Chain A
Amino acid sequence: MDALQLRKQLIEYTAELFSEGFLDEQFTQLQQLQDETNPNFVVEVVSLFFQDSERLLNELAKSLSQQEIDFKKIDAYVHQLKGSSSSVGAHRVQRSCISFRDFCNAKNIEGCLECLQKVKQEYSLIKDKLETFFDLEQRLSATGGSPPLP
């Protein structure tokens, strides 16, 4: 695939990520912050998001499997995940955290367990999609093509 086709594919794929609500304006903000002094800024921030999210999802699964559920602790983890997903523009992950917090406040275990599955699902989706996005960017760069402006 030549640079022009890759560029077109990247533009279309990015538009899809926004129109389907996977990403929001904050992701554009990240892209606009990237410059020649830090050309991997977006990848670095998103990598941190992946690390943080996986840690938090593990902690949530552990906490929800305890005999005595500490809803305050679970709420704190969800708050962190909501914050980091919001900072990178992972809109659907952020939205699923909002409902999760509501169930925490209501001390509803079933609701929390359902929400955990939902958050995991949304996280898995955005992780795949961002990895595809970065792969397209990398392939475009390898052909000497210039990335579209955010």
Chain B
Amino acid sequence: MGIDAGMWKLAGSSSSSSTCRRFHASSLGGSSGEVKALVVDDSRINQMLHHKLLDNLGVENLVVCNGKEAVDIHVSGKQFDLILMDIDMPVMNGIEATRKLRDMGIRSVITGISSHTLDHVKQEFIAAGIDEYHEKPLTSAKLLSILNKIKHKD
């Protein structure tokens, strides 16, 4: 059983569950429109996990495999409210990708998600421009707190 690596589009709208509520920014008291997220992680396990977490909350999301793909997708014109950014990735790591995105003027909420416990790595990630940092694994509770921050930002 395998999962195709590379970019997948996995929209919350593909869910047929009647219990899946669409996670609108407006339902959080913010501006109208759906919350869109980008998952940036080279681990297929974490891609699946984060996609499913977002999908279950009705958050439309795209998945990419490294920092360069995250930058490229923004260059193509796509925008996201939330970016879940891993650190260690091939081609371009999360720290460099965050720096580049901020230099491009991207103001999305960027949440660093990593299993690094070293302070200097976290500090470097924060200095690159992430809004907050969470240790893996990401849980529903952590994701909800991140989405609530988007509400307050709006």
> A interface vs B, CB < 8 Å?
26, 29-30, 32-33, 35-38, 41, 43-45, 47-49, 51-52, 76, 79-80, 82-84, 86-88
Contact = CB atoms under 8 A, between A and B. Distances in A.
29 contacts: A26-B137, A26-B139, A29-B139, A29-B140, A32-B140, A33-B49, A33-B53, A33-B56, A35-B19, A36-B16, A37-B16, A37-B17, A37-B20, A41-B48, A41-B52, A43-B1, A44-B1, A48-B48, A49-B45, A52-B43, A76-B88, A79-B88, A80-B88, A84-B43, A86-B137, A87-B43, A87-B46, A87-B49, A88-B45
Interface string B1-45: 111000000000011110110000000000000000000000111
B52 A48 contact: no
A83 B56 contact: no
B115 A45 contact: no
B137 A29 contact: yes
B44 A48 contact: yes
Contacts of B16: 36-37
Contacts of A76: 88
A48 B2 CA distance: 7
